[in-house]
Amino acid sequence: MDTPTRRRMRSTTVAIGVTAVMASGLTGCSSSADYAAVCVDPETEERVDDDSCDDEQDDYNGTGSGFFWYYLAASRTVPALGSGVSGGTFNGSSLSGTVQRGGLPTTGGSTVKSSTTKGGFGGISRGISS
């Protein structure tokens, strides 16, 4: 009579262990984005606060006013707020790979990749890493 009870306990223990391993794999080992977007005024080509851009807004095509997302590759340096942007594109629909919109350090200075590295259990680190 003891044998069926032990088997049930082992089965439950294995299921909990597998679930924990899968959860840590999904949250702790994610790769960083291929591109990151910063909000930019296309007239001045300077970075502005991310809250000024709308996620539903189309790409900037050289016409129109307002603020638009400017996409930087992972190897590019993040500009500080108020600084000029270069080396990226306003055309996000032409990119292949994962894109993170916003969330980069407002002080700039680091690369996109180091600023979008994810880590920890259920957390995302978006600060400047060394």
Report the chain's mean pLDDT, rounded to a whole number: 77
Percent of the chain with pLDDT over 90: 44
pLDDT at 90: 95
pLDDT at 71: 95
For residue 27 the two structure tokens come to: 């949250």
52 Cβ neighbours under 8 A, 6+ residues apart: 39, 67
**How would residue 129 be classed by pLDDT, with cut points 50, 70 and 90?**
very low
Give per-residue pLDDT as tens, 8-65. Answer: 666 665 565 555 444 444 444 445 789 999 999 999 999 999 999 998 888 998 888 8
Please tell me the distance from the alpha carbon of residue 86 to that of residue 29, in angstroms, as a whole number. 30
pTM of the complete model: 0.66
